[in-house]
A = this chain, B = another copy of it.
Amino acid sequence: MLDNSQYIEKLRSSGLRPTKQRIKICEVLFNSEKTFHFTINELVKRISKSTNEKISLATVYNTVHAFKNKGYLKEIPINSDQSYFDTNTSHHHHFYDETQKDLIDIDDADVEPVKINTRIPGKKIKSVEVLVKVEDDKS
């Protein structure tokens, strides 16, 4: 399969050997037209739907963390209930719909650059992320 070569490369560069379980995880994560947000549980469900053989939770966690560390996935801090991940690794911000419990990308072009006029000595900025919480407008 031609497509798999991309997955194999992603896995190798994350320090993982390309096994069939891991390639299946890649297919679910990176084969879709659009990027998406997910929790581990949601990802496991997606994987179950798209294959007969099941992949253990430990393998899913390990692979997701390796990709996150390599930068192929981002973790989005929303609350302390569960980890949210994002297959969109470009710089962008988020709406979080508290009614639907849904994360929505904000196109980076739709946000004016965030200017912070103070620094912490000896520290450098790794990321600047905006989280806009929204709820149903009943007015």
Interface residues of A (CB under 8 A from B): 75, 77-83, 93, 95, 97-99, 104, 106-107, 110-112, 114-118, 120, 122-137, 139
- Given known contacts A132-B127, A139-B124, A107 and B114 CB-to-CB distance under 8 angstroms: no
Cross-interface CB contact of A112 among B81, B115, B132, cutoff 8 Å: B115
Across-interface contacts of A122 in B (CB, < 8 A): 136-137
Flag if A123 contacts B111 (CB, 8 Å).
no
A98 vs B134: C-alpha distance when bound (angstroms): 27
Across-interface contacts of A78 in B (CB, < 8 A): 77
Flag if A104 contacts B120 (CB, 8 Å).
yes
A117 vs B135: C-alpha distance when bound (angstroms): 18
Flag if B107 contacts A120 (CB, 8 Å).
no
Flag if B126 contacts A129 (CB, 8 Å).
no
Cross-interface CB contact of A130 among B77, B117, B130, cutoff 8 Å: B130
